[in-house]
């Protein structure tokens, strides 16, 4: 589904990613771990097409299609979704209106008609139930004045509505207490199936107790320096990132 080959990327002329190779197949969960500043969030931003991030070398293929020059909205239409580390507050636009627009614009891009209002309401209701969200929540402006947990839950709610092929969860656990973490992780697990994939970016191992990865990759200084199964996350938790750093030296 996602193939990343020798990816190099810059922000403001500073090299952040220095040659990343990664392949994610349908049905898999990959965890990207690494210390602060290793390039985890940059990797997510480059995959989703944030304009400040410039690819200088390499390729990102999604379903064998080169994503170079593909706009963020087109990537979304193809099925790429990112749950933001810091979801943006947008006053004046309700979550319902926002997600309806997102769904219908995606359908429009595929040459489909708007989703009938009845189906939309049904889907909103189902996904609220799935994530244990009060429907009143949907008539509030997106993320405006939301707590950290509410924001993250709203991200997963949007993911549930958009049904992406590839979901990238960028530090979804940061700012969450253990109960909120369980709800969010539970939501992700319910949405997971054989046809989609998840890339979990996290600093800590605790989220991986709930969203269990098939593969763990350790990012350090813009490169994947170690890959393994879920046991790698435990090892990291025990030994810390210094263990990796020493290994490189």
Partner 1 sequence: MVHLKEKLLSSFIAFENQKDIDSYVHGIRTKAIKNFEKEGFPTKKLENWKYTSLKKTLNHDYKLFPSTTEALEFKDIKDFLIDDIESYKIIFVDGKYCSHLSETTHDGMDICILSSALSQSKYDLVIENYFDKISKKDGITSLNTAFSSEGSYIHIPKNVQVDKPIQIVYFSTGKNESVLYQPRNLIIVDENSHVEIIERHQSLSENSTLVNSVSEIYCNQRSIVQHYKIQDDNKNASLIDNTFISQQRNSDYTLHTFSFGGELTRNNLSIFQNDERIESTIKGITIIGENQHVDHNTLIHHKKPNCNSYQDYKSIFGENSVGVFNGQVLVEKEAQKTNAFQANNNVLISDKATINTKPQLEIFADDVKCSHGCTVGQLDKNALFYMRSRGIPEKEATALLMYGFANKVLSSVNIPEVKTRINNIIASKLGVKMGFDI
Q: Does 53 bind partner 1 (CB under 8 A)?
A: no
Query: Where do we find the tokens 């709930």?
Result: 210
Q: Does 93 bind partner 1 (CB under 8 A)?
A: yes
Residue ranges in 206-245 that form contacts with partner 1 under rule CB under 8 A: none
CA–CA gap between residue 124 and residue 65 (Å, rounded): 31
CA–CA gap between residue 56 and residue 104 (Å, rounded): 34
Smallest distance from the beta carbon of 192 to partner 1, in angstroms?
A: 20
The 10 Å CB-count burial string (b at 16+, else e) for 216-248 is bbbbbbbbbbbeeebebbebbeeeebeebeeee
Q: Does 146 bind partner 1 (CB under 8 A)?
A: no
Pairing of strands 223-228, 215-220: antiparallel
Selected binder of partner 1 within 66, 105, 126, 195 (CB under 8 A) = 105
H or E segment to which residue 30 belongs:
strand 29-33
Which among 25-33, 83-91, 172-180, 221-229 is the span making contact with partner 1, rule CB under 8 A? 83-91
> What phi and psi, each to the nearest 5 degrees, are found at residue 153?
-65, -35
Q: Does 140 bind partner 1 (CB under 8 A)?
A: no
Q: Does 49 bind partner 1 (CB under 8 A)?
A: yes
Which among 70-78, 208-216, 218-226, 231-239 is the span making contact with partner 1, rule CB under 8 A? 70-78
Q: Where are the beta strands (DSSP E) in 34-187?
A: 53-62, 65-66, 80-83, 90-94, 141-142, 166-170
Q: Does 85 bind partner 1 (CB under 8 A)?
A: no
Q: Does 88 bind partner 1 (CB under 8 A)?
A: yes
Write out the residues near partner 1 by the rule CB under 8 A.
Answer: 48-51, 71-73, 75-77, 81-82, 84, 87-88, 90-94, 96-103, 105-106, 109, 141, 158, 162
């Amino acid at each position: 589904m996602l193939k990343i080959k020798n990816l190099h990327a810059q922000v403001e002329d500073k090299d952040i990613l220095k040659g990343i190779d990664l392949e994610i197949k349908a049905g898999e969960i990959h965890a990207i771990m690494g210390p602060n500043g290793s390039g985890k969030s940059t990797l997510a931003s480059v995959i989703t097409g944030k304009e400040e991030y410039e690819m200088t070398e390499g390729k990102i293929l999604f379903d064998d299609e080169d994503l170079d020059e593909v706009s963020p909205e087109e990537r979304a239409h193809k099925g790429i979704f990112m749950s933001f580390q810091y979801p943006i507050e947008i006053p004046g636009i309700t979550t319902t209106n926002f997600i309806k627009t997102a769904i219908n614009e995606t359908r429009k891009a595929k040459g489909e008609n708007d989703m009938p209002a009845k189906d939309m309401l049904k889907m909103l209701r189902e996904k609220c139930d799935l994530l244990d969200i009060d429907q009143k929540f949907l008539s509030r402006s997106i993320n405006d004045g939301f707590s950290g947990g509410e924001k993250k839950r709203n991200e997963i709610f949007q993911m549930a509505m958009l049904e992406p092929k590839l979901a990238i969860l960028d530090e979804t656990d940061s700012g969450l207490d253990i109960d909120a973490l369980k709800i969010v992780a539970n939501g992700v697990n319910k949405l997971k199936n054989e046809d989609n994939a998840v890339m979990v970016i996290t600093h800590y191992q605790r989220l991986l107790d709930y969203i269990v990865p098939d593969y763990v990759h350790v990012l350090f200084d813009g490169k994947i320096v170690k890959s393994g199964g879920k046991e790698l996350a435990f090892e990291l938790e025990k030994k810390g990132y210094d263990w990796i750093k020493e290994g490189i030296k």
